[in-house]
Structure 1
């Protein structure tokens, strides 16, 4: 049986934690887990977004638990994890998705702003992972999904704080993964590297650009990211998932010719992250945007018209076993045909 999200519906109900669940990718991931009938703990700062997300989770078939928390506060994150464990009995999956950002040249980002982005995006992931391990290690089971980005490998202009934090998460996760493997732990950690996604962040992010912030095309719908996250949560043995052909192309190009990519992004990266119109004054760096403006932003941003709802590359990444088998069978058939022609000669 499959849900309308295109992911298998399992027999058991897992206890899932999603950080940054009030909007964007976190909101979409929470709904994707709910469509499987899971119990979903929604962690974020914004009360309006969390309330709306909880209602959607319940309508989708899941059980919702709302926990208001700032992920940069280690004690608050520990308390949130304990609340989830007390309510659901345990934690099976923890998705680290919360982040913050500033769109501006590095020299125009204040030290406090840079620190805040790092604390929410990087340390929030670290604190979330530590809280999850506290509950998973004694049971010797569970999966931690780090929501990354192509920017975890390839920095781009105007997002120095965010890129630095995502790079840090990448290194942290690799180190932790090695430690878990060394100890023979049944707890898994994996990372999902996302492309540009159509989320509301481009309307609430703190920006000092002359134009209106936008994602670098091509843009994918948050449900594409959500499917990958749900799949990763059930297949944590795999170290990493790349979502979207643009992510694959960027990471390969950066590995092969990073200097060329530096020059390309220097030439195109500024205009590619702006469109016409002035940026808004929402800014969620210090306070949640939904609380300041009394509205729920949902999962989608303003780029529905250009966003892709499917990604063949993401499907292949989730089904690489089938793809590998098909390629092997295809190669075998071609080899057999060639051998037959040679024999007939």
Structure 2
């Protein structure tokens, strides 16, 4: 039976890829974002991919009142929301001292408070029904700050703390509602084309880079298995979080040395590139940015860490089986050698 799935940030990047992933399952989809060009294109793709029903809901998640109206509309048009995916964000690429208070406030309102507003509105309804899943799309930067991204890292850290606190409350109440968070690696999304940048060079994700479909598969898996508190996607995410837990001071110094160059391509930034902070970059006269950025040639389509993480019971069973076979073979070989020596 198809579920009602709502995705914020659905017009581009990870949100857009999530829409396609859930559409292939035949779910009924509500697509939320500010820009209508991207929303309309995403809706057309979803219908072609097999979505049972699709509606678009233009909304700014920074506006709590507008979010409440959007959730009410979704439940009226499609029915009770089964899965809510928070993915909308905006940010600034710049050293902290070059960012204005207004830019900081706006980005935080979208990237952190947007998650809070959406979760608050849909959770109230889910608690009444005692069922539902909320997936928070996060990042390795929810744990590990990097230079030139103080806005984004601060908001992601805030989402992480909010998520943990809320999860504890739901566990205390023995609620049938689940919240989980998916921590993403560097992804090939359009954000590097439309995020406000004050860098001298074009911004880029720090390699290794993964395609947004890798992220979408992780989100869909988390929606199906929401009892786990969070998921890590990509070996780079695992390595970063482990290194930060073990030697954060050394990582500070390493990132201070490499973090500026690794986040820039070496090519001059286009001073006229679109900025989606105050207005959607894909407004009525804008272009559809899609799910992918400009790094397709360098992006990975699969994460083996993700395969293992999603199938660890089977992987563990296979490892145990392989160990057992190796042990039996070793014993048999030893017995054979002993028998040979006895005959000699």
Task: Give the TM-score range, shorter chain.
Answer: over 0.9
Matching of residue 265 in structure 1 with residue 255 in structure 2: yes
Residues 158, 293 of structure 1: alpha-carbon distance in 2 compared, 3 angstrom cutoff? farther
Matching of residue 140 in structure 1 with residue 130 in structure 2: yes
Deviation at 1:252, TM superposition (A): 0.8
Matching of residue 328 in structure 1 with residue 317 in structure 2: no
Q: Does structure 1 retain, via aligned residues, the 8 Å contact 2:204–2:263?
A: yes
Matching of residue 124 in structure 1 with residue 111 in structure 2: no
205, 212, 220: which one aligns with 1:222: 212
Supply the RMSD in Å over aligned alpha carbons: 1.3
Q: Which residue of 2 aligns with 1:8?
A: none
State how far apart, in whole Å, the 1-side matches of 2:32 and 2:142 are. 23
Q: Which residue of 2 aligns with 1:315?
A: 307
Match of 1:289, SS state, is coil
Q: Which residue of 2 aligns with 1:58?
A: 47
Q: Which residue of 1 aligns with 2:269?
A: 278
Q: Does structure 1 retain, via aligned residues, the 8 Å contact 2:182–2:219?
A: yes
Matching of residue 300 in structure 1 with residue 292 in structure 2: yes
State how far apart, in whole Å, the 1-side matches of 2:106 and 2:185 are. 23
Matching of residue 178 in structure 1 with residue 186 in structure 2: no
State how far apart, in whole Å, the 2-side matches of 1:207 and 1:319 are. 39
Q: Which residue of 1 aligns with 2:68?
A: 78
State how far apart, in whole Å, the 2-side matches of 1:210 and 1:273 are. 11
Deviation at 1:167, TM superposition (A): 0.6
136, 152, 157: which one aligns with 1:167: 157
Q: Given the two structures, how large is their TM-score scaled by the length of structure 1?
A: 0.94
Q: Given the two structures, how large is their TM-score scaled by the length of structure 2?
A: 0.94
Q: Give CA-to-partner distance per residue, 1:250-289, whole Å, 9 cap, x none.
A: 1111111111111111011001111113234311111000
Match of 1:197, SS state, is coil
Deviates more, 1:174-183 or 1:325-334: 325-334
Q: Give CA-to-partner distance per residue, 1:161-195, whole Å, 9 cap, x none.
A: 11011011111111111111111111111110100
Q: Which residue of 2 aligns with 1:31?
A: 20
The answer for unaligned runs of 5 or more in structure 2 is 339-344
Match of 1:41, SS state, is strand
Deviation at 1:338, TM superposition (A): 4.5
Deviation at 1:341, TM superposition (A): 5.6
Match of 1:42, SS state, is strand
Deviation at 1:135, TM superposition (A): 1.7
Match of 2:138, SS state, is strand
Residues 317, 158 of structure 1: alpha-carbon distance in 2 compared, 3 angstrom cutoff? same
The answer for unaligned runs of 5 or more in structure 1 is 1-11
Q: Which residue of 2 aligns with 1:7?
A: none
Match of 2:135, SS state, is strand
Match of 2:207, SS state, is coil
Q: Which residue of 2 aligns with 1:67?
A: 57
Compare CA radii of gyration and give the structure with the larger one. 2
Q: Does structure 1 retain, via aligned residues, the 8 Å contact 2:36–2:284?
A: no
Q: Give CA-to-partner distance per residue, 1:23-57, whole Å, 9 cap, x none.
A: 00000000100000001100000010001111111
State how far apart, in whole Å, the 1-side matches of 2:225 and 2:120 are. 20
Match of 1:76, SS state, is helix
